[in-house]
Every structure is written in C-alpha cells, then in structure tokens.
Amino acid sequence: MDIGALIGSVSLSNIIGGLIFSGIGMVALATGKQEMNVKLMLVGAALTVYCFFVDSTLLLYGIGTALTVAAYYARE
C-alpha cells in the first residue's frame, strides 16, 4: 500500500488552514446553536467541513475567508 496515494496533496499550509477555519466553524456553530441562529449554524457547519473537499491552498484560504466574513454578518 502506498502511503503517498492515501495522503494525496496535503501540505502543511492546507493543514494549518483547515485547523484555523474548522476552529472558527466550530465556534460559529456553537454560538449559533446557543443563540438559535440558523444562518450562523449553517455557516459554521460549512466552515467546519468544506476543507475536507478542497485541495487547492488558494481556494482553501479564499473560501475560508469568505465563509468567515459570512459568519460575521450572520451574527448580527
């Protein structure tokens, strides 16, 4: 079994970005649940899981930034 084929194109910057944006998503999800804010919960859930499906570092940070801004505005 080839370990490289299992890992794919995972880089350190993708791991760091995934941890950062998943952490923000977990906080947004918990806050939305506490405040009964469905929009914030959905954005938080999207932030938590989207990084598993994106391979490109540029897309990872771009989508993460856009969803973080959306979470900020969903809070209000």
Higher-pLDDT residue of 55, 62: 62
Asked whether the predicted pLDDT for residue 4 surpasses 60, the reply is no
pLDDT per residue over 6-48, tens digit each? 566 678 899 999 999 999 999 999 999 999 999 999 999 999 9
Give the C-alpha separation, 76 to 35, whole Å: 11
Asked whether the predicted pLDDT for residue 3 surpasses 60, the reply is no
Q: What is the pLDDT of residue 46?
A: 96
Higher-pLDDT residue of 11, 61: 61
Domain assignments of the chain as residue spans, ordered by start: 19-74
